[in-house]
Structure 1
């Protein structure tokens, strides 16, 4: 595709909007998706909307950065540093990014049954998934694994958070939960469990046995993914939860 060519001069079947309607959004290049948001390029004889979208991605990828990762947290002034991107285009792109985040992070409806790590991760993602600080949160469930609520227990730094078993169980008891899923995020996106993660999980499982509660899982979330310690460790064999 010629990036200085006007969208109107591109064959109809090759235009980004028409390609989205006929093929679906997932089949479009990132520059084409941005072009749809931009609507227009830099003006006559300059970059088309697709070309401008590609130019934005190239600018964001400087210093070997992932352009989509930069785009997730870019500010309006940074975006408007690109020639041809004014307040209208910048706010349209930023609104689309925020809408995408909210759609991805949308919580299950109240009283949803938490019956798998993926459902639990979806319920926790709003609080944890894209945060740049480590946050520890819990899902509070009834005896039938129905979601009663979500509670943030602690907020740490970019590399660590402190979660007290006492505070975790205090919230569960206070809100009448008999089952819980605990979770925290790794801002780096590395989902590997650290030794402190393992140690805390062991403490929680042992404490839950004494309190006649059940810790169903400990999830680590980050950058769109999640890891279940129940599925990847033998801790639940060591400390059965009777769930």
Structure 2
């Protein structure tokens, strides 16, 4: 699709709205999704809505190789600096991004049973997933793996946070939990564990054995992704928790 082809002049099967209904939103290019939000293009530059969406991505790409990275935190004021983007278009885009974040971060009901890393991640993502500073949290569980609550223990910088095993187990005991899942975020979006993450996990599992308070997993979250150290490492075979 070209920059200057009006959506009304496109074949019906190529129009973004019709393609979304027929194929699903995940089949649309990012520029097409923006076009649906924009509604109209920019007559002054002879751009269709899709063309204007492509222009937004191109200009955001000048600031970051991944324009979607910029879109996650872009403000209406920043979008309005792009010719053809006024208050209505800028706020529509930012509102859609915020809705997407909230839909992903919706917290499950209390007392939910945590059956797998994905369920635990969904519960913790409100506190961890999109944060710009690194945070360390614990998910507190009873003997049936039902959620008692969660707690952010520490907040660090964009690259570092501090979590000390005594503080972690003290909170577990204080809250009357029988077991726990620990988690932190990587603001960069790279959820691969660092050596520090592995060393901390090893220490927590050792103490968990001594106190008979199982640590069921250590999750790393960031930018819509997550990693389960229980699945990715052999630490739980070295230090069985149950």
Q: Is the 8 A contact 2:64 2:70 kept in 1?
A: no
Moved more, 5-14 or 134-143: 5-14
Alpha-carbon separation, structure 2, partners of 1:109 and 1:193: 29
What TM-score comes out, normalization by structure 2 length? 0.94
Quote the offset at 1:63 in angstroms: 5.3
| Matched residue, 2:30 | 30
Moved more, 189-198 or 169-178: 189-198
Going from structure 1 to structure 2, the CA distance change for 1:64 and 1:187 (only over 3 Å counts) comes to: closer
Deviations 1:67-90 (A, max 9, x none): 111111112111011111111110
Going from structure 1 to structure 2, the CA distance change for 1:203 and 1:2 (only over 3 Å counts) comes to: closer
- 5 Å-filtered alignment, 1:175-190, equals 175-190=175-190
| Matched residue, 2:235 | 235
Alpha-carbon separation, structure 1, partners of 2:192 and 2:20: 37
| Matched residue, 1:84 | 84
Aligned residues: 242
Secondary structure at the residue paired with 2:193?
Answer: coil
Q: Is the 8 A contact 2:142 2:179 kept in 1?
A: yes
Deviations 1:115-173 (A, max 9, x none): 21121122121111121211000111110001111110100111111012122112211
Alpha-carbon separation, structure 1, partners of 2:237 and 2:96: 45
Q: Is the 8 A contact 2:134 2:186 kept in 1?
A: yes
What TM-score comes out, normalization by structure 1 length? 0.94
- The Cα RMSD (Å) is 1.5
Alpha-carbon separation, structure 2, partners of 1:67 and 1:140: 37
Q: Name structure 2 gaps, 5 residues minimum.
A: none
Q: Name structure 1 gaps, 5 residues minimum.
A: none
Moved more, 135-144 or 69-78: 69-78
| Matched residue, 1:9 | 9
Alpha-carbon separation, structure 2, partners of 1:10 and 1:237: 58
